[in-house]
Amino acid sequence: MAEPPPSTPNLSPQDRIEKPTATSSTNKNKSPEIPIEIVSDEEMALIEAALAAARSSFSSPSRLQKNARSIQSITQLSKRKLSTEERPSSTCGDIEDAGGACSSRKRNRVFESLLHRFRRNRGLSVTDITGTEWCEKQMEYYLVFGRPEVSKAMKAGIARHTVLEEEVVKRVEVHLRTVEDLWAVKLMNFMTGVNQLLFEGLTRELPLIGFVEGVWMVGVVDEIRMPAIEDEKSPTLVETKTRAQATLPSEPQLRNARLQLMCYKYLWDNLVANEFPCRQFLDFFSLNPHSNLSEEIVAHSCKSGFAAETLDDLMRYFQNTCSMLPQAHDRLLLRYELQEDHSLLHEFDFAFDADWVKGQTQCTLEFWRGEREVKYTAEEERWKCKYCQFASVCPTNTDSIIKPSLSSPLSSPS
């Protein structure tokens, strides 16, 4: 099959690969190195006390294993990962109405170990950024203990996003053999989604990846619209939130959602500015660019208009695709829907603030890199604690029995 010009792939939105299925594990996965640390009997007692206090909030290991086995496709798996990362957990019973957040009170190497221990070979998600902005201590607990079960309200929000996606995307299942196959599908989905945006004026659930402030960051933007005005070429990024009650979000919730959308624009603009460092990408995610993709992936790539046999082939198409895209519009759109009937509660149109989002991102990365101590939720926003499952063991809770020493064992260096 003749290879079409990389800069003009003959993509078909109807053939977009959205639900690849994993039937075998990649041979590149290796058991992580488990750090060993000597702790005193007193420290161990404190750790056990903290675990006992938090254990009741989470699913049992058997249930978690059962849930993991129930995932039927790689895109569902990726989407779950990115949605638990891309969509902050609800603190008010509403999907995405609030975020989890970040860190611990220790020295530099402690914070650095969070990035190394929990986001190695994965990169930070946009939800890691928004979650950190919401409450840093809560994020630390999420990292150490894991997130709780998805609530009924959160399931309703996830279901709504699935419906919105299926309105414009046809999913095609493929089987994956390697991690290179996984990333090939992500790149293909991006290019197919971009093609749909350019030709149809709309795409949804578009995966983004970028190298931001020295770290790899991933995200999935809800919706991108091309303007109807012919002279206007900048696409508009849209985020849809759902609420269980017909009320507007609080200012901290709005601030968190604005940060999320601005991060997406930050990633998009970095991509189209041709700032995608391929070598660093391959090294960080431990990818072999010359590894042959599965026959099924190769077949789908040919059908989509970019004949590729290796990840390296697809990356060239990916770079060419990014180079012909305009920067996102400086106006961003945040929508709130009522879960009950999907009626529109309100739309917030706001301007991108490059300095603000860069400052927020840098502040978050200081935590993940271990460059400062944890910042607890501000006094005027302590109402968030009422909805946090870790409130009873958090040092900010004066009634907590283990308050004085809880942060110390949880923050022990790896």
Res. 352 pLDDT band, cuts 50 70 90 = very high
| Percent of the chain whose predicted confidence (pLDDT) is above 70 | 67
Res. 36 pLDDT band, cuts 50 70 90 = very low
Please answer whether residues 333 and 239 qualify as being in contact, where contact means their C-beta atoms are separated by less than 8 angstroms: yes
**Residue 241 pLDDT exceeds 80:** yes
The pLDDT, as a whole number, for residue 128 is 95
What interhelical angle do 74-86 and 179-200 show, nearest 10? 70
**Residue 172 pLDDT exceeds 50:** yes
**Among the listed residues 164, 324, 134, the one whose alpha carbon sits nearest the alpha carbon of residue 238:** 164
**Residue 382 pLDDT exceeds 60:** yes
Res. 370 pLDDT band, cuts 50 70 90 = confident
**Among the listed residues 170, 168, 175, the one whose alpha carbon sits nearest the alpha carbon of residue 72:** 175
Higher per-residue pLDDT: 207 or 161: 207
Cα separation, 192 vs 199, in Å, equals 11
Res. 316 pLDDT band, cuts 50 70 90 = very high
Helix (H) or strand (E) holding 350: strand 344-351
The pLDDT, as a whole number, for residue 235 is 96
The pLDDT, as a whole number, for residue 185 is 94
Beta bridge partners of 281: none
Asked which of 184-188, 265-269, 364-368, 392-396 is least confident by mean pLDDT, the reply is: 392-396
**Among the listed residues 324, 336, 325, 329, the one whose alpha carbon sits nearest the alpha carbon of residue 350:** 329
Please answer whether residues 105 and 407 qualify as being in contact, where contact means their C-beta atoms are separated by less than 8 angstroms: yes
Please answer whether residues 345 and 243 qualify as being in contact, where contact means their C-beta atoms are separated by less than 8 angstroms: yes
DSSP string, 46-76: HHHHHHHHHHTTS--HHHHHHHHHT---HHH
**Among the listed residues 352, 110, 109, 86, the one whose alpha carbon sits nearest the alpha carbon of residue 220:** 86
Please answer whether residues 393 and 402 qualify as being in contact, where contact means their C-beta atoms are separated by less than 8 angstroms: yes
**Residue 402 pLDDT exceeds 80:** no
Tokens representing residue 186 in the block: 């992500």
**Among the listed residues 161, 168, 162, 227, the one whose alpha carbon sits nearest the alpha carbon of residue 198:** 227
Amino acid at 26: T
Tokens representing residue 374 in the block: 């944890």
Q: Quick check: pTM over 0.75? A: no
Higher per-residue pLDDT: 18 or 344: 344
Beta bridge partners of 336: 241, 346
Select, from the ranges 70-84, 170-184, 339-353, 392-406, the one with the highest average predicted confidence (pLDDT): 339-353
**Residue 8 pLDDT exceeds 70:** no
